Structure 1
Amino acid sequence: MFSHRVSAVFSSAVIRVMAFQFLRWIPGYPALNILFTSLAIYLSSLYFLLHDGNLSQGGAKNKHNITPKGHDQVKDPSEPSDSALKSLLTGLPSKTSPVWTWITALINIAVSLLALDFLMRGIVFYPSNDLSFARIGHVSPTTAKLVLREPDTAQLPVVVSYQDTSLASPNWIQEGTVYKLDNTTDFTTTITFKDLQPETPYRYSLSNNKTGTFVTSARPGSPAASRLSFITSSCIKPNFPYNMMSHPLRVPGIEKMTEAIAKLPSLLRPAFMLFLGDFIYIDVPYRFGSSMEHYRSEYRRIYSSPSWDFSSGDTRALDLPWIHTLDDHEIANDWKGNKTAPYPAAADPFIHYHVSGNPPVPAKPFADPDNVTYFSFVNGPASFFMLDTRTYRSQPSQPDSSILGSAQLQSLLEYLASPEPAGVYWKFVASSVPFTKNWRVGNTDTWGGFLNERRTVFEAMWRAERELGVRVVLLSGDRHEFGAIRFPDPALGLPINELQPRTAGVGLHEFSVGPLSMFYLPIRTFAQRDDEDVAVKYAPDGNSKFGMIDIAEGDSGEDSVLTYSLYVDGEAVWKYQLSVPLKSDARKLPLSPGRVLEDKIGEGWDVPINKALGSFKGVGGNFVRTVTKLYHCVV
């Protein structure tokens, strides 16, 4: 009986801890296995305890539980005390009240069923085969891409029209007609609106009752082209943290982002979302399959989320143009298998739902332009190169390791060496994984596993800043945390005091942010290792994080100024500023250092703890490694 009591107490505690972790902390598959194994152990232990003769007789010491006349029944001191509270806390059955026994058991069963609900409700009840939607992708001064899906043949042909809403009496212009959609593209297609006017608001309308709005970007060289705002983030998992009353496909982070955008003045409204991977989680919490249909169904469920139609004022999430990079959970965790299975099945919906709406490939892709998944474009005062750090990578931590592959590396180096048109002062390089090696967990899955190639790329970036008069900014995601890092050019010979952690200053700057709507890890995984990657700011907390970048001319009219704002759970909590001189002769001088404009986060509890530990880095190391290993399984 003692062993059954121990099993019941231990398994009950594990059920509750694992359910909390799975539903509110990290929705990892190992936690799900442990939870249901513990539930089986708990119910078995409870069965044996309830059918033990000693318990069923109420703990009596004789056959009929009769107290000899004239004697008070004395409680055996070795027998544990009994109470409703004890039963609720430990999971043990109550001898005095069967009601509390069943309530305790039902609690453990209920939390397990909640985990099952999070795992299965969206898949079972929302296959989303009938999804009909339309969204705007890449927008230029004269064009805009529209990605649409319509599986209902009764709606065909779909007529696509648009109108200029800046006019008093706008006419509808028919752009095209879609006569056929079939399963070869999962009933999707892309229409490109052409011959549009720059800096102009438009409305589009489809004959299947789908409609939305977009604004074209500024004409290069125009006064409006000196300004640009956009958003960047990564990582989406519907209904996490879990809410049993919520729609299983709801994405809280999209709604928080929409609310935050609605509060901005019109001048600061973002032109697009640069989403840096993990749009789906095919393998979290559980991989149900690796077929093309499994991957397609995940995209359909995300696009079936009611959060896309969530509106705050005149802002709707679906009206924000989204452009995408690829990361591992769109294929498999820590993917480095190039185009081997299951990559072909995973790439199919990524191409139909995202690549089709993305910007064009680089002018010199050094590969078949129809077979690359990296992109380049210009918008206002900035140019962009969107990397694919999954499809072409080799094994990490080797002298010749490549995260980009030869063709993409050459395309990136060509982009970095090319002068920008007049009025473009910023080069953004977007990577799904961080450039910095400061993250201690899963470092080899990032650029930290490809340091020789990273050095080649950094040297090209430092050269571009010295010779082309532009500023290079790195954008990344993946980590479910925020980190701002700078990479000073060694040629500057900076003193040691300018290379200390948590300092603003000169150098290439990286802003790595995520998740838009997923978990974060309370255990800190980021620390400056050397004076190559200088930590500016670290902000791990928050289930919803995104960065907003606003570029505009400074008050003096002599600089192009970039302001980076970090939003956590819908609120701006940290702001940082970089600048580039507008006059060509001033750009020959070293670029000015960045500076912190606002910080509502502070250092956090990890800083004094790290200082107190000092050299005792091994304290608790095994525990930290165990937990962070679980974390890395789902990042």
Structure 2
Amino acid sequence: MASLPHIATATSSAAIRLFGFIFLRWIPGHHFVPIIFTSLAVYLTSLVLLSRNDHPRSNRSRSTTKGSKRTRGPKTSEPGDSGLKTLLTGLPSRRSPLWTWTTVLINITVALLTIDFLIRGLVLYPTTAVSFSRIGYVSSTTANLLFREPDPSQLPVVISYREVSSPSSQKLTEEGTVYKLDNSTDYTAAVTLKNLKPSTHYKYSLSNNKTGSFITAPQPGSPAANRLSFVTSSCIKPNFPYNILSHPLKIPGIEKMTEALGKLPALLRPAFMLFLGDFVKLSRWPCHRPPLIHTLDDHEIANDWSQGNKTAPYPAAADPFLHYHVAANPPIPEKAFAHPDEVTYFSFVNGPASFFMFDTRTYRSAPSQDNSTILGHAQLQSLLAYLSTPEPEGVHWKIISSSVPFTKNWHVGTTDTWGGFLNERRTVFEAMWRTERELNVRVVLLSGDRHEFGATRFPDPSLELPPSELQSDTPGLGIHEFSVGPLSMFYLPIRSYYQTDDEDVSVKYAPDGNSKFGYIDIADGADEVDPAAPAPVPVRSSILTYSLYVDGEVVWKYRLSIPLEAAAGARATQDSAKRIHFPPGRVLEDKLVKNGWDVAFKTAIGRTEELAHYCLDIATATYYTLLDKVQAAERLS
């Protein structure tokens, strides 16, 4: 029977390797680090105990054979003592010290790689001296420029710009000078470049040798304003999956996205990127980089944060978000219903679309209560005002971004999404459906957070769609949500997204891939408003095409459209009750692998995890109920 040191050695060795692999290549969760190093300490201690136990046995063996006649014969070893067993289990080999030292070295190397992943970037590339510049929100006449310069010898910093098409000898236009930078803003400053021309390519220069370029948005109402392309994703972590040969600050997903976008024609290059939370500060961004617009989520603060904007660590965590992201973001809504200095939700118009960007962390309360709010009173009122406001001529889309998904089809961690705020979600959806019915604009939802892709539609109940149009994994009518992530992070090989009712109709689910982003292109074109009709009628439409990229390749495309010829569109989209609705969504391309045996296995794992969370919630609720009763009894006594 194996001794306790043998069991401890084998178990701790297995834990080092298993959790080391998970942390470095699968899920870089902080809770795995103490497990790895505790297991290493147990493993080394157990080895020492085993070696001490072996020495007396060797001495006794020598004393019993001393003076006796030595018998020559073949050299033997203990049963099961082999190099393969030593390498696999981590147990020492009495026959070969080389195998013992090799397996010890393997376990120590796993721990060293963990340390390298954690601290190499911090030690070799400290952020205190980082100097950079980037472009944030760009309108038709302005551009927000953010820069960081901690070196006082570079001050003052002069900001200038010129048109790229102008002669290099032309004098730069000086926008302004920043004389002072200090630790109160972490040595950052935001400057707005003004009086720019629409649809024009500009280059900016800073006196500290930082340069960059950007293209202004088109003039509202102009022919160029009929087209808009942009990208969206969430969640990044440098050098993951971990590669010892890679730069510790390298983000593979950004490189894959940059390469993919670089292959697009100039006309289709994205105007900006909506980054929907769980971001780290970057001082480097590759070529073909779009301007960045940011939304706050939990990992800028703490996991599943729902404790408001006053409780620690929110104030300290939000400070860099304000200086590095909000400072370069779009303007706040005209009707913000709060003091401008306390608003972290945004609204803007670009080409054929207007945008409302949620902050679903700062103002939320605890989930799953009757009065739970994910937006807070002021942001909710601002959203309702935005939805009820008609858009200018030529703006056909209201695009709303949320750091967490609207759908409740994800059945693990549901309460951290809009699934934990269903009453407020219903209020928002009713306003969206009313907007589509009354304003003749189409509402599209974009979200992130889940490290998976899920396309979901939310049909307007007034359409009274038949059951055949509410089946799982089908395109069709309704407000559509496209939730995508991560841009460069881990993904879970389990299936936790599935449809359970006819409120949230699943369209497509794609969980796999360390790098995922959505590319949205809106342009005028001809579309069939009712493809299922015996004689489809193509009419001039504003067409939104969503392309899902996984690991740098397009794997799925989907189309939504809005007829621009009102009479033809109305004739083609009237249903039996004479209500007018938009054409159904359509799948244009699907390269995703169909369901196989592994999907059933991963689904079973997902359901098991869901059941475990459910049992844990029941046990926790029961515990607190009993605790309340005990405390009440003690007070009475």
Cα distance in 2 for residues equivalent to 1:59 and 1:172: 90
- Assess, with a 3 A threshold, how the Cα gap between structure 1 residues 96 and 67 changes in structure 2: closer, same or farther: farther
Shift in Å, 1:624: 9.0
Match of 1:375 in 2: 346
Cα distance in 2 for residues equivalent to 1:606 and 1:58: 57
Shift in Å, 1:525: 1.5
Shift in Å, 1:80: 3.4
- Assess, with a 3 A threshold, how the Cα gap between structure 1 residues 149 and 220 changes in structure 2: closer, same or farther: same
Cα distance in 1 for residues equivalent to 2:459 and 2:347: 25
Cα distance in 2 for residues equivalent to 1:158 and 1:552: 40
Match of 1:33 in 2: 34
Alignment of 1:11 onto 2:2: no
* Cα offsets for 1:343-372 (capped at 9, x unmatched): 111111111110010000001001112210
Match of 2:283 in 1: 304
Alignment of 1:561 onto 2:543: yes
Shift in Å, 1:56: 7.0
Match of 1:322 in 2: 292
Shift in Å, 1:167: 2.9
Shift in Å, 1:91: 0.4
Match of 2:209 in 1: 209
Cα distance in 1 for residues equivalent to 2:411 and 2:67: 66
- Assess, with a 3 A threshold, how the Cα gap between structure 1 residues 39 and 70 changes in structure 2: closer, same or farther: closer
Name the aligned partner's letter for residue 487 of structure 1: F
Shift in Å, 1:606: 6.8
In structure 2, which of residues 518, 522, 537 is the aligned counterpart of residue 547 of structure 1?
Answer: 518
Match of 1:583 in 2: 565
* Cα offsets for 1:136-187 (capped at 9, x unmatched): 0000000000001111111111111101112345441111111111111111
Shift in Å, 1:415: 0.4
- Asked if the contact 1:384/1:429 (under 8 Å) is kept, the reply is yes
- 5 Å-filtered alignment, 1:143-222, equals 143-168=142-167, 170-222=170-222
* Cα offsets for 1:23-54 (capped at 9, x unmatched): 01111122112111111111111111122236
Cα distance in 2 for residues equivalent to 1:611 and 1:187: 47
Shift in Å, 1:328: 0.5
- 5 Å-filtered alignment, 1:419-498, equals 419-498=390-469
Shift in Å, 1:439: 0.7
* Cα offsets for 1:94-135 (capped at 9, x unmatched): 111111111110100100111111112222332210111110
Name the aligned partner's letter for residue 334 of structure 1: D
Cα distance in 2 for residues equivalent to 1:37 and 1:350: 35
Match of 1:248 in 2: 248
- Assess, with a 3 A threshold, how the Cα gap between structure 1 residues 84 and 205 changes in structure 2: closer, same or farther: same
Cα distance in 2 for residues equivalent to 1:608 and 1:522: 9
Identity between Structure 1 and Structure 2 (%): 64
- Asked if the contact 1:469/1:584 (under 8 Å) is kept, the reply is no
Shift in Å, 1:590: 0.9
- Assess, with a 3 A threshold, how the Cα gap between structure 1 residues 439 and 100 changes in structure 2: closer, same or farther: same
- Matched residue pairs, number? 594
- Assess, with a 3 A threshold, how the Cα gap between structure 1 residues 59 and 592 changes in structure 2: closer, same or farther: farther
Cα distance in 1 for residues equivalent to 2:606 and 2:553: 34
Name the aligned partner's letter for residue 153 of structure 1: P
- Asked if the contact 1:259/1:570 (under 8 Å) is kept, the reply is yes
- Assess, with a 3 A threshold, how the Cα gap between structure 1 residues 550 and 7 changes in structure 2: closer, same or farther: same
In structure 1, which of residues 568, 571, 576 is the aligned counterpart of residue 553 of structure 2?
Answer: 571
In structure 2, which of residues 571, 591, 607 is the aligned counterpart of residue 600 of structure 1?
Answer: 591
Cα distance in 2 for residues equivalent to 1:492 and 1:106: 66
Cα distance in 2 for residues equivalent to 1:262 and 1:164: 22
Cα distance in 2 for residues equivalent to 1:511 and 1:67: 83
- 5 Å-filtered alignment, 1:614-633, equals none
Match of 1:84 in 2: 83
For CA contacts below 8 A with separation 6 or more, give which structure has more relative contact order. Answer: 1
* Cα offsets for 1:381-418 (capped at 9, x unmatched): 00000000001011111111110011100000000111
Cα distance in 1 for residues equivalent to 2:30 and 2:65: 50
Cα distance in 1 for residues equivalent to 2:71 and 2:291: 87
Cα distance in 2 for residues equivalent to 1:199 and 1:464: 30
* Cα offsets for 1:430-477 (capped at 9, x unmatched): 000000001111100110000000000000000111110010000000
TM-score by length of 1: 0.89
- Asked if the contact 2:494/2:603 (under 8 Å) is kept, the reply is no
* Cα offsets for 1:590-620 (capped at 9, x unmatched): 111101111111334378627997xx99768
Cα distance in 2 for residues equivalent to 1:56 and 1:304: 61
Cα distance in 2 for residues equivalent to 1:188 and 1:612: 46
- Asked if the contact 2:451/2:490 (under 8 Å) is kept, the reply is yes
- Asked if the contact 2:412/2:609 (under 8 Å) is kept, the reply is no
- Asked if the contact 1:49/1:55 (under 8 Å) is kept, the reply is no
Match of 2:535 in 1: none
Shift in Å, 1:5: 1.1
Cα distance in 2 for residues equivalent to 1:136 and 1:327: 21
- Asked if the contact 2:140/2:196 (under 8 Å) is kept, the reply is yes
Match of 1:532 in 2: 503
* Cα offsets for 1:213-259 (capped at 9, x unmatched): 00000001100000000000001111111111111111111111111
- Asked if the contact 2:475/2:587 (under 8 Å) is kept, the reply is yes
Shift in Å, 1:554: 1.3
Determine helix, strand or coil for the equivalent of 1:99. helix
- Asked if the contact 1:249/1:304 (under 8 Å) is kept, the reply is no
Shift in Å, 1:560: 0.4
Determine helix, strand or coil for the equivalent of 1:236. coil
- Assess, with a 3 A threshold, how the Cα gap between structure 1 residues 18 and 171 changes in structure 2: closer, same or farther: same
- Asked if the contact 2:146/2:190 (under 8 Å) is kept, the reply is yes
Cα distance in 1 for residues equivalent to 2:72 and 2:447: 78
Greater mean alpha carbon deviation, residues 602-611 or residues 202-211? 602-611
- Asked if the contact 2:539/2:565 (under 8 Å) is kept, the reply is no
Determine helix, strand or coil for the equivalent of 1:373. coil
Cα distance in 2 for residues equivalent to 1:467 and 1:598: 32
- Assess, with a 3 A threshold, how the Cα gap between structure 1 residues 73 and 215 changes in structure 2: closer, same or farther: same
In structure 2, which of residues 352, 355, 363 is the aligned counterpart of residue 392 of structure 1?
Answer: 363
Cα distance in 2 for residues equivalent to 1:260 and 1:58: 68
Name the aligned partner's letter for residue 90 of structure 1: T
Cα distance in 2 for residues equivalent to 1:535 and 1:265: 32
- Assess, with a 3 A threshold, how the Cα gap between structure 1 residues 63 and 518 changes in structure 2: closer, same or farther: farther
Computing the radius of gyration from Cα coordinates, the structure with the larger value is: 2
Cα distance in 1 for residues equivalent to 2:68 and 2:399: 85
Cα distance in 2 for residues equivalent to 1:67 and 1:468: 105
Q: Which runs of 5+ in 2 are unaligned?
A: 527-537, 571-578, 617-637
Match of 2:576 in 1: none
Match of 1:338 in 2: 308
Match of 1:293 in 2: none
Alignment of 1:511 onto 2:482: yes
Cα distance in 2 for residues equivalent to 1:606 and 1:35: 32
* Cα offsets for 1:275-321 (capped at 9, x unmatched): 000113xxxxxxxxxxxxxxxxxxxxx3235xx1x34xxx3x3xx20
- Asked if the contact 1:57/1:65 (under 8 Å) is kept, the reply is no
Name the aligned partner's letter for residue 499 of structure 2: Q
Cα distance in 1 for residues equivalent to 2:549 and 2:602: 28
Cα distance in 1 for residues equivalent to 2:292 and 2:431: 28
- Asked if the contact 1:50/1:56 (under 8 Å) is kept, the reply is no
Shift in Å, 1:337: 1.0
